[in-house]
A and B are shown apart, each in its own frame.
Chain A
């Protein structure tokens, strides 16, 4: 009827206005319908998730105490929502309970579904699939995850690497460490969390080995600082010799490797490295050297640290003063005496500052 009325209008301007108005009304109606449909779909999804949680929570809670012996049927359209619920429960618990949850997941057949989901176009679905397969220790997906760990997206590739580390840490870690070194788009803090979960026993040797290997080739050397930073998670005794070897190559590796290497030293027999780098031309290496002597230095290091109190950088002066304060036999009164005897105003200020801190410590 609207069309008939519009076609009856003779004036072309009025006709155009009427057509525009009719189009706008139609667009609004379509938009309202779309909004209602989206809201209805969301409500339906929420209702399904609530129903799934109501049905499956007792089964998942039972896994906290024992492995399930019978497995309820998981409807095909509920599998994706179930993955979310199962992953959440898996991440709430530790120990035997996680094993029980894996038994349940295998019993209801979510592993093949999660493997298929790896091919999904949706990033969210792929991430959930990777998390699930990692938690399931699903060895059948290692090859696919290995390829995904080399994907250009940092989110996808890191999630795949994490899943691989969960599935088989002993075999996957040595293969992933060169990637960890090279992928600067993987956040170091997230990698550190993943490695921490594996434990120092698992990571110490492969990590130190990978850092040494990477330091040998010019093409892989840029990744060494990342690996050395991660070595803070390793057992100090297990990496002691490797740190020595890295410091022997210091001239090739540069300050970005020297500073974190010095922070790894915990044996007084290695204090000579810190002494050697007290006069390094990069200020943060001097900071690291002074901090290391604070930890493992001896009374004889007093004379070596005194010149650093006149350093151009505040942090070097501060760390050197702290290192002096913690040397064997040093007391706040001795720091005051040193301050009184020095001609350098900045050195005297720093010694008094640190002496005051030591008194209040």
Chain B
């Protein structure tokens, strides 16, 4: 299962479509608060997390801290998907524990191959 945290409904649909085709079940969270509640309540970690940075209520970095604070979630691959392309944003995300950083607009093929590689690596 993949947790997809994205507040743009068009993009959330697009990501769901791409992940569905790859055979993943998808849990959508439309803002930081919903995502935080889901992460805190989940009994098992997802196979992968797609995380936007700019979100209402709690941003992607806060959620990433929360994810990495849970010992059983430490190895979950997290792909940050964001419009922020400055070097310091990428470094900040990778330092905080993101596995990959993809800048919007993105190439669907590139996203698919990175998802496959990360999921394969953690299996």
Contacts and interface: CB of A to CB of B under 8 A. Distances in A.
Nearest to B20: A61
A65 B14 contact: no
B11 interface: yes
Given A53-B10, A57-B10, A93 B17 contact: no
Interface stretch (A83-91, A115-123, A277-285): A83-91
A359 interface: no
Interface in A44-84: 53, 57-58, 60-62, 64-65
Nearest to B14: A61
A94 interface: yes
Contacts of A64: 14, 17-18, 108
B38 interface: no
Nearest to A89: B10
A97 B104 CA distance: 13
Given A53-B10, A88-B10, A92-B11, A61 B17 contact: yes
B69 to A, nearest CB: 31
B100 to A, nearest CB: 16
Interface in A88-128: 88-89, 91-97
B109 A95 contact: yes
Contacts of A92: 8, 10-11, 14, 104-106
A352 B14 CA distance: 56
Interface of A: 53, 57-58, 60-62, 64-65, 85, 88-89, 91-97
Given A64-B14, A95-B108, 14 more contacts: A53-B9, A53-B10, A60-B14, A61-B14, A61-B18, A64-B18, A64-B108, A65-B18, A65-B108, A85-B10, A92-B11, A92-B105, A93-B106, A97-B107
The 4 closest A-B pairs by CB, nearest first: A61-B17, A95-B107, A64-B108, A94-B105
